Amino acid sequence: MTFAWALATYGHAIQVARGNRHAQVAGQRGDCILPACGADEHYRIADANGKGKTAPAMDDHTLRFIDLFAGIGGIRRGFELACAQHGRPSECVYTADIEPFACEIYRKNYPHDSHSPLNDVTRIDDYGQAMGRVDVVLAGFPCQAFSIAGAKRGFEDTRGTLFFDVAKIIEDRKPQAFILENVKGLVMHRGGRTLRRILEVLRYDLGYASTQFKLLNSLDFGVPQHRERIYIVGFRDGGGGFAFPRPTDSSKRIRDIVEPGPVAAKYYLSEGYLAAARAHRARHEAKGHGFGYEIRSWDDYAAAIVCGGMGRERNLLRDDRIVDRTPQTHIRSPINAENVRRMTPIEWERLQGFPEHWTEGVADTHRYRLLGNSVTVNVVKAVADQLVRELKDPQMFKPTEHGQLELSYELAASV
């Protein structure tokens, strides 16, 4: 029997602390674990029969959001595009990342921010002073393990991880909603126990009862890249009308993102490098590993772009449009005769849904790394579109006997 199922099935009293407000909600199946309504607040509490009040729609005030583990601003861009599509003003009131080159790119693309993006979420002394009112939290937090042995302390079990800092901000600022993003591996991390604890903290400890997650593939949202990532979305009020987006466009292929003209010779592999890559792959194949470079057809889609190891070599192309074969690097070996090249940073930007030249201004090595660490803007926009719709017209969330959280455990256990 899972911890969450025990909470939902047996009559445990759950104490939810929110600052100086406390609410005790019976743990009968069907109850929503949310703080009690204050005179100046609007919460939706459903009873065991699914009846309840729906929080009033938010007015059209500017959505104030924070961008944590922001990288080069991919989650922010997708969120802002969705807000603009709905005619909803938005304002980023706080950004946090500690990678200098990422912050340099972020500043370049968001020059009018009144705050610096170079901040450490683990070193915030006063959330209110740093952020003020926060309506939406955006965070691409890293996947980290935390202690789950012994007594289950809920929120405290995550102390020492960056998720803990995200959760503390959510607890303190009480946003209307959040979008959290992580790698696919979070689903199976430690046998699904990491994801399980994260969902329990968000739903039961912090009161975002409608929290749910889904794996989404960039390939289904208008870019030719097979890239699966987990998205976790929750609402403080409502959430019943939210549904993760369905695929919008799975037709794009590599030829749709290839630069229109010849690219610089520096992106072509030398004869020596290509020979070494082939030998490297052969060694791994002999061991049954199946690891190494891969030359993609222009009518294929790209593998997930990643920032380390053979990341750039997993999406090589044959491109006969080269006009100048003069090597532009210090490698003395000539350019390979098969015209095999890496994708350019602009092509990686397109694979991630960014405008061209988004990462311009730093060396190519950093551009590839930052893009490989980023999100696909198209996917975030599709998720945020559904979130903004729900905030505009919140619907009552009705817990089910075998809800999404329990299903998520089964999914994690089956991977």
Active site residues: 143
Tokens of 8: 């939902």
DSSP line for 296-322: EPTTS-EEPP-SSTTGGGGGEEE-TT-
**Nearest Cα to Cα of residue 175 among 90, 235, 124:** 235
**Phi, psi values for residue 65, rounded to 5°:** -130, 160
Q: 3-state class of 112 per DSSP?
A: coil
The string over 264-283, giving b where at least 16 C-beta atoms fall within 10 Å of a residue's C-beta and e elsewhere, is ebebbbbeebbeebeeebee
Residue 324 CB-density burial (10 A; 0-12 exposed, 13-18 middle, 19+ buried): exposed
Q: What letter would DSSP give residue 388? A: H
Q: What letter would DSSP give residue 270? A: B
**Nearest Cα to Cα of residue 27 among 17, 15, 37:** 15
Tokens of 338: 């098969």
HSE-CB at 9 with a 13 A cutoff on CA atoms is 10
Rounded Cα–Cα distance for residues 306 and 295 (Å): 16
Tokens of 384: 């945020």
Rounded Cα–Cα distance for residues 124 and 115 (Å): 14
Do the beta carbons of residue 36 and residue 43 sit within 8 Å?
yes
60's enclosing H/E stretch is none
Alpha-carbon separation of residue 167 from 138, 301, 321 (angstroms): 12, 36, 51
Amino acid at 62: T
Do the beta carbons of residue 373 and residue 305 sit within 8 Å?
no
User: Could you tell me where the beta strands, DSSP code E, fall in 284-378?
Assistant: 295-296, 302-303, 316-318, 340-341
Tokens of 21: 């407000």
